């Protein structure tokens, strides 16, 4: 088992999640998210942007699952239950991302092919499904998987600096709390309060990716058998 290669590959996958997720929502999907009547609007230049955003999120799904599957053999040395739980949480998150992709592609089809009768209302309904899939997937389950589960395993195993892992242990509950507050309409979805509450989690994920690429996993008792050359 090449621990350094696993760490490097995992780090690049984390970086890919940032490169694909942020532009998809805030750039490529902007024509729909910023325009309530997009389906019945004029012009078709944004269709390519939506398709590009969908492809970015397909890559995001692959990278998300990869961040849990690639280091699984390392994570399970600390806790096999934790490693499985993390893979499961990542898959659940990706299911909601996939629902969002389907919604965006459905809006593209609706704009191109559907009759004009109730198209606007139907398009807004599909967009609402996208928004709620985003709020529950990246807006809640990220805190469970990347924050609480992964943060706890990294903190206890010592595979990364514990101060860095604390960002996950702080950011995870904040993400979950923000998601619940959005569901109860206490705070605005995507508003400044939720934005501030996501900062620790974002710093945790980005710093983890950069650290693993630059330095790999730290020496830890769960990797001692590799240093002794006894791994089979």
Quick check: helix, strand or coil at residue 118?
coil
pLDDT in tens, 83-133: 999 999 999 999 999 999 999 998 888 877 665 555 667 888 889 999 999
pTM listed for this prediction: 0.90
What is the pLDDT confidence band of residue 35, given thresholds at 50, 70 and 90? confident
Quick check: helix, strand or coil at residue 26?
helix
Q: Is the distance from CB of 213 to CB of 15 less than 8 angstroms? A: yes
| pLDDT over 90 at 185, yes or no | yes
CA separation, residue 23 to residues 30, 54, 55, 75, 163 (Å): 9, 11, 11, 30, 29
Q: Give the least confident one: 192-196, 208-212, 223-227.
A: 223-227
CA separation, residue 149 to residues 37, 54, 72, 142, 230 (Å): 40, 28, 13, 10, 28
């Amino acid at each position: 088992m090449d621990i350094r290669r696993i760490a490097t590959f995992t780090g690049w996958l984390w970086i890919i999640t940032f490169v694909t997720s942020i532009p998809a929502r805030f750039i490529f999907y902007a024509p729909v998210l910023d325009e309530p009547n997009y389906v019945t609007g004029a012009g078709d230049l944004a269709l390519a942007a939506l398709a590009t955003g969908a492809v970015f999120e397909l890559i995001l799904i692959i990278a998300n699952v990869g961040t849990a599957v690639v280091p699984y053999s390392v994570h399970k040395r600390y806790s096999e239950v934790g490693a499985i739980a993390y893979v499961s949480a990542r898959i659940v998150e990706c299911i909601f991302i996939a629902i969002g992709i389907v919604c965006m592609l459905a809006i593209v089809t609706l704009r191109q092919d559907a009759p004009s009768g109730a198209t606007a209302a139907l398009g807004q309904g599909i967009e609402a499904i996208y928004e709620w899939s985003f709020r529950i997937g990246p807006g809640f389950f990220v805190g469970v998987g990347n924050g609480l589960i992964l943060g706890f395993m990294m903190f206890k195993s010592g595979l990364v600096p514990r101060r860095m892992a604390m960002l996950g242990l702080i950011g995870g509950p904040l993400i979950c709390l923000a998601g619940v507050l959005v569901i109860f309409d206490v705070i605005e979805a995507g508003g400044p309060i939720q934005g501030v509450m996501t900062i620790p989690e974002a710093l945790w994920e980005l710093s983890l990716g950069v650290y693993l690429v630059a330095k790999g996993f730290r020496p830890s008792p769960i990797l001692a058998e590799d240093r002794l050359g006894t791994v089979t």
